[in-house]
Amino acid sequence: VHPGWPARVGPLRVRAGRVTLRPIRLRDAGVWSRLRIENREHLEPWEPTGQASWADRHHVTAWPGLCSSLRAEARRGRMLPMAIDVDGSFRGQITVGNIVRGALFSAWIGYWVDQAVSGQGVATAALALGLDHSFGPMGLHRVEATVRPENVASRAVLQHVGFREEGLLRRYLDVDGKWRDHVLVAMTVEEVPGSVSDRLVRAGRASWA
């Protein structure tokens, strides 16, 4: 058993509705597949290149294997694969990965949100909840994220929750068919007096739902 898994996190209220995080589950298959296929143009420029076609990788039958392997990693304490729900409906995912303990206590965080609810604070709220869960129940010391310099929406999200830029990683990740530069951002627990959610609420970007 690992601290912080499984768990429900939130809620925080934003313009789109009530944002909560919860473990991904097998019955997300239908909505996951539909949203991933509908959002292809929105997602593909920013996500790691896959082997099979977009349609095959996001077919409803791809979910059980993916979901089970992510949940197995969660049980081993190496990942935190969460669904982002808005008013109780699946709208995206937020994942904490490469959780390393020992002298690091560190991980990366990444996310995507359905374009139908974009620009309404969902990713910002989900990220704040994910960070508070990582620094709180999971006891991590450092969380990092990498983002393409061109991804203005995601960079805005990272900035809203207080990430600090650490540098530019050249040709870091195979995204959309090419090795792409990424900006590395990070936060350590010392930079979070109180909680990230609390800071978001005080900045007027969310409210306690």
Residues at the contact surface with ligand ACO, assessed by CB under 6 A: 42-43, 46, 110-113, 118-124, 145, 147, 151-154, 156-157
Query: What is the nearest approach in angstroms of ligand ACO to the Cβ of residue 150?
Result: 10
Q: Which is nearer to ligand ACO, 123 or 138 (CB)?
A: 123
Query: What is the nearest approach in angstroms of ligand ACO to the Cβ of residue 97?
Result: 10
Q: What length is written for the chain?
A: 209
For residue 4, the SS3 value is coil
List, in sequence order, the alpha helices (H) in the chain.
Answer: 29-38, 40-43, 54-57, 63-75, 122-135, 152-160, 196-202
* Cα-Cα end-to-end distance for the chain: 30
Q: Which is nearer to ligand ACO, 100 or 156 (CB)?
A: 156
Query: What is the nearest approach in angstroms of ligand ACO to the Cβ of residue 155?
Result: 8
Q: Token match 């959002």: residue?
A: 39
Q: Which is nearer to ligand ACO, 20 or 154 (CB)?
A: 154
Q: Which is nearer to ligand ACO, 3 or 165 (CB)?
A: 165
Q: Report the alpha-carbon distance of residue 122 to residue 72 in Å, rounded.
A: 27
Q: Token match 């203005």: residue?
A: 152
Q: Which is nearer to ligand ACO, 9 or 122 (CB)?
A: 122
The residues, ordered by sequence, that sit 6+ positions from 45 with a Cβ below 8 Å of its Cβ are: 148, 150, 151, 175, 176
Query: What is the nearest approach in angstroms of ligand ACO to the Cβ of residue 142?
Result: 15
Query: What is the nearest approach in angstroms of ligand ACO to the Cβ of residue 1?
Result: 28
Q: Which is nearer to ligand ACO, 74 or 183 (CB)?
A: 183
Strand ranges across the sheet with 89-100 = 164-175, 178-188, 142-147, 106-113, 89-100, 80-86, 17-23, 9-14, 207-208
Query: What is the nearest approach in angstroms of ligand ACO to the Cβ of residue 189?
Result: 19
Q: Report the alpha-carbon distance of residue 94 to residue 110 in Å, rounded.
A: 6
